[in-house]
A and B are shown apart, each in its own frame.
Chain A
């Protein structure tokens, strides 16, 4: 199993450009997440999904969009990139049980995005 795969690993965007961060998992996990990690700030939840066709906002959703058309894929879309979106982005998945600890998160290796 590949686990959680994120592409690209690195990307530099100009202000106002758009892009999609790809995330796919092959573990048949129901729950998928997007986090961003800023220096000294920990990980903040952007969006999450508890199953195909269902998405919900996290703590910092502004400037982002997501979709979940299949169980495997959970892409994150930046429509108008801004310098404040410079960050490291992590995708994660879990089997899905409440509380979350019954099935811990599996993380991808992250995407480092710079907006200049």
Chain B
């Protein structure tokens, strides 16, 4: 069975600064993907970034990047130059076979 753990329930960051959100996972699959989803107050689920497990290079999408440590089963999200619009809940997720398993989420607040 897959499990995803986000141990920090809340974080806060000053606008324009950098913040890192932590995630660990456990899976018996060899071929899987990892994701970060953003959920703003509108409730919409938005894909932020994804990482293929068999790729060593860390994924980046503009201000968002990941630190993928496969041996440690760690998948953290770094947000650079934080903006007020980054205020949201962030979910880490692992996808193998046909299903996605989510962590409990972390609430990120960006302070002006």
Contact = CB atoms under 8 A, between A and B. Distances in A.
A binds B: yes
Contact of B52 (A33, A45, A58, A101): A101
A106 to B, nearest CB: 9
Interface residues of A, number: 26
Given A88-B43, A104-B47, A99 B102 contact: no
B102 to A, nearest CB: 4
Contact of A50 (B4, B35, B53, B98): B98
B47 A100 contact: no
Contacts of A105: 45, 47, 100
Interface residues of B, number: 29
Residue among B45, B47, B52, B104 having the largest count of chain A Cβ atoms under 10 Å = B45
Interface string A30-60: 0101010000111111001010000000100
B104 A40 contact: yes
B19 interface: no
Contacts of A109: 42-44
A96 interface: yes
A60 to B, nearest CB: 12
Given A90-B45, A104-B50, A107-B44, A99 B95 contact: yes
Interface of A: 31, 33, 35, 40-45, 48, 50, 58, 88, 90, 92, 96, 98-102, 104-105, 107, 109-110
